[in-house]
Structure 1
């Protein structure tokens, strides 16, 4: 695998830890980094010096403690020079794959989106998708060369796919939505583009983005539950996004909590997705209303107007999701659950039933877990793929071994 265009000057675990703190919590003074990592200030200074010299980190002009968050940790009136990552020091591309579309973004080192591109897919065959992915990535690479908006060197490409993904080897073992089994995406796409490629489960990629650049920055533990064509779950506990011993974890959508006569896209019966996914909700409303041409937007409008059949479908989904959330929270105990997905803000229709069922089944203090409803776009999923590249790049993980 080719090396990134701009390798990081990180030779020790301390350097990785310091850069991670600056990236996720900056601007941040050296003294706070030392206190939060347990390193000495001398070790922090030693670790950050080559990063400043190479242009990855900048040392702001001295300011007083009153302008710095967490100023109580500093001596009164003492001037400090907070450290922050230079956003444009590198660029990253993130790609999200769905059965009908490809979504691509370019981001800076802080996962800030710079450019967005959407492309439709004619089919889900591996050859077609990889060819279109390569074309989309090449187009995004072209945007990085715009002289009017200069960007940093490209260091890698992230690809987010639903299903069972072996992230360590860049392999999609099983993606029911795509109809893929045992596809070496990183290898095949890397050969086409000659750029390091990181492949991740899409929900786990979104969780990495929340961990490094979102609600998870200050959280000890959290979960991201996504609701769309499927139902997924990413977990952050004990200081890390859970990968699972075999690359599978947090498969909330496949807990057997729905009626056993319902067959899931995975081929099993009674999965949460058979009732709670957007596809399942729409199918139920089409069936009960006798309107086979109804789309999801129309189904939501029906429910908002009080149609009994539409409301029943959303209530049923909310009840199953609430039970699944309670099961997950009882087992893992996160302090926060972010419920996300395309158009999830429209699903206030099942919010009350979901929270009611969750409260009924959450055990003891697990019921204190906060549930946060938040809409995400497909651009956010692609940004998650970029975030996995940033994490691997900083940590020196495959394919960025130093």
Structure 2
């Protein structure tokens, strides 16, 4: 087959896809930034985009998301593409009600020790799906970010070889999603607020000894600051301190070791409860890229891998998989959830209840 014939076949396949395909746009909403993808009927990403935000007020975020969605669809599918064959999936880093598409609570406060202080914001019971359907005309699903990453892994990652697995997401806080016997558990799973220390540090939630009191960008930075007395701009600075030659480096590394132990106890809880064969941990590269001179990552990983000591004996045969954070995977997972919700009938039809494109 010559190059001309191959190009003709590609054009024909593209035309057939546009004629019959059902597409999903996936959007990841993170503090002051968006990532978006378009996913085809086969689940593969066919377009992507990123955008920085200057504000996180809910109405402004809706406006920017709608603009991104419109640009992605127009550029990849065409302005006249039928809205009935496109759906929208959005994920956020906080608790949501996926049945109504409501963001129950989304909050971000500035670090008082940071040189750059973005304004704090808080969403409470915000009807994100309803607002986006009104702004875009597309049926919309809303999920928690950890559940979106679990959906991505189910279709594109460890789900190809495991029916029961967990996904842990370490960002500002810590979240988790589970797939059990091939079914994604779309239920609130406040993994970061499992208590793993009897007399532990006070968590942002008000309880004492939660995983999230020791793990996550905010907590780890704060703990290293408390242990060393050093002013730090964020997690990267905390990692650099632990990895460097400063006299306080080993004290800083101790914070990463305790963070790994906290996570290992949480992993043990998932193993005892669900019995996953794999647990995927998404985190910043500085936490999971170990090796010579990487004192922070080495301490964190070594302690985390001791999870068998905290779980029931028959639950210990579990493989840990570490992956660097990637916003596109989160947006991809949100798109896959939207396809299931809107086209496969696995969810309620928000489009019928709230909006008729």
Q: TM-score, normalised by structure 1?
A: 0.71
Structure 2 unmatched ranges of 5 or more: 1-14, 109-120, 290-296, 353-357
Q: Work out whether 1:265 is the aligned partner of 2:215.
A: no
Q: Is the 8 A contact 1:226 1:233 kept in 2?
A: yes
Change (3 A) 1:265 1:95: farther
Highest CA radius of gyration, 1 or 2? 1
Q: 1:105 aligns to what?
A: 37
Q: Work out whether 1:124 is the aligned partner of 2:73.
A: no
Q: Is the 8 A contact 1:88 1:151 kept in 2?
A: no
Written as runs of structure 1 = structure 2, the 5 A alignment for 1:3-402 is 89-145=21-77, 155-177=86-108, 179-244=122-187, 248-249=188-189, 251-258=190-197, 260=199, 262-305=201-244, 307-343=249-285, 344-346=287-289, 347-356=297-306, 358-396=307-345, 397-399=347-349
Change (3 A) 1:266 1:125: farther
Q: Secondary structure at the match of 1:386?
A: helix
Q: Is the 8 A contact 2:158 2:278 kept in 1?
A: no
Change (3 A) 1:179 1:226: same
2-side partners of 1:214 and 1:368: how far apart? Answer: 19
2-side partners of 1:395 and 1:218: how far apart? Answer: 23
Q: Is the 8 A contact 1:326 1:361 kept in 2?
A: yes
Q: Secondary structure at the match of 2:305?
A: helix
More relative contact order, 1 or 2 (CA 8 Å, 6+ apart): 2
Q: Secondary structure at the match of 2:68?
A: helix
Q: 1:45 aligns to what?
A: none
Segments of 4+ moved more than 6 angstroms: 150-153
Change (3 A) 1:342 1:151: farther
2-side partners of 1:117 and 1:55: how far apart? Answer: 24
2-side partners of 1:393 and 1:55: how far apart? Answer: 21
Change (3 A) 1:95 1:348: farther
Q: TM-score, normalised by structure 2?
A: 0.79
